[in-house]
Amino acid sequence: MVRVRAVLSTVLAALCGATLLTACSSDPTPSGVTLAWASDSRQAVRVSWRDSNAPNRITIEGVLSTSPSYVKYLPDNAPNTWDIPSSEFPPDGNYRIAIAVGTSSGGVTSKPARSPMFDTDGPVRPSASAAIPTGESGQDVLVRWDVPAPPQDFSPDDPLDVTGRPQLYVPLVGRPGEQLRAMGPGTTSTQVVLEDLKPPYLFQLRAQNEWTSAVGGEIAGRSSTTTASVPGSAQFSVAMRIRGRAILQEVRCAPETSCVEQRTTLAGLPVVVLTQVRPRARWTPAGRGITSTGGYYDIAVTAAGTRPYMVTVPLYSGAGSMVSSSTSKPAVTRGVVRVASAGFIGGASRRRGETITVYATVKPPMNAVALLQQWNRVSKRWNNVKQVRILRGQVVFAFKAARPGLFVFRYVLPNATYLGRPLYSTVTPHLMLSIR
């Protein structure tokens, strides 16, 4: 029996001496632990409690979260209140403040009293934003953004929640050579008008609540420059290709440094080919397309009369992106009368004495006079054969094949006018006739 008692005493001594954080004495447990913000700046959390003027040990306990290593000892003559810096609480966690009687040398001598649970969740990050130019000058920008629904609140009785005050959104703008800076006070709205904001720029939203801030809702406001290669000439009603590229300038910003401007491209930008159908008429769309990788575009446009063409990238506004409009320099395409078909009725191999009919169909279907010519092998030049009327785009001339041989003909088609614009003359392909 003596031996058993000796062993039990040894075990109890080991338990009491192994850790000073678990008391073997029983001081009264503190009570009435309350929490509040120490000031409107919310830089510290004020914890208060009641006890019998005992020394205290203050810790932060995680609730399904990792407990931070914060420990504070207060002497017995200190007030029963203490301000814990907000920076001591890890973000996005659930915590309680534990108050016990104890000292750094003597250990904990009471059970802990705990505050209500609270969370340190940050603000809901803004999601997609869109910028729309507005105002008479078109240089003001209306920015709208979306905010996802907040996650489930697992601490509905949080004493540190700031009730009746939604999170704030502070608009930030970065320009080349400048740091990101606030463009006014925070707002609880989900839209703001920024005056005289010209691209390129970078827009961000800083969402704030009682604990921290989060950046989201980014918009890259880009400026654009458009170049175009327009064919110098094209046949009437034939598709021609207008090619070019849209180059963008955007702003990149890093923390605590000046923003920089850099060149970029974007696939999927709308591109519009404009033309003037008649002299001094307004510019109207003649073709549409989008940019591909590298900002390049290739748009088919049906040629008409001689016209100017230019390419514009219209103002583009989408989620997270805004591109200013730009237009290439205008360039003129000379319209050319088109030979739709030409040849010999009945074929190009005939007998002597037969009637030969040489024809051509031209576009647009005009009324004019064409010149039929024959190649002279001796003089090596084209000789005029006959002026032939063009009726509604059809020209036909018949003659007798007088002698055998190989002969080459062509029609010279005159200039024309289409919708007040000139169409320039052309010739048919060489028409070879065999007479046997």
Percent of the chain with pLDDT strictly greater than 90:
71
For residues 158 and 232, is the Cβ–Cβ distance under 8 A?
no
Tell me which amino acid residue 286 is.
A
Name the 3-class secondary structure at 3: helix
What token pair was written down for 15?
């338990």
Query: 25 burial class (0-12, 13-18, 19+ CB within 10 angstroms)?
Result: exposed
Rounded Cα distance between 226 and 331, Å, is 13
Average of per-residue pLDDT values in the chain: 89
Give residue 20's region: left, alpha or beta (phi > 0; psi -120 to 50): alpha
* Residue range 121-146, pLDDT digits in tens: 989 888 878 888 887 666 788 999 88
- Structural domains in the chain plus CATH codes: 19-119 (2.60.40.10), 129-212 (2.60.40), 222-335 (2.60.40.10), 338-435 (2.60.40.10)
Rounded Cα distance between 98 and 69, Å, is 13
* Residue range 313-355, pLDDT digits in tens: 999 988 889 999 999 999 999 999 999 999 999 999 999 999 9
Residue 6 has pLDDT above 80, yes or no: no
Q: Tell me the average pLDDT across 141-170.
A: 84
Q: Which long-range contacts (CB under 8 A, 24 or more apart) does 258-262 make?
A: 258/177, 258/178, 258/179, 259/174, 259/175, 259/176, 259/177, 259/178, 259/179, 259/180, 259/202, 260/176, 261/176, 261/200
Tell me which amino acid residue 205 is.
L
What token pair was written down for 167?
């999170």
The residues, ordered by sequence, that sit 6+ positions from 366 with a Cβ below 8 Å of its Cβ are 337, 390, 392, 393, 416
Residue 254 is given by DSSP the state -
Q: How confident is the model at residue 33 (pLDDT cuts 50, 70, 90)?
A: very high
Task: Considering only CA atoms, give the Rg of the chain.
Answer: 43
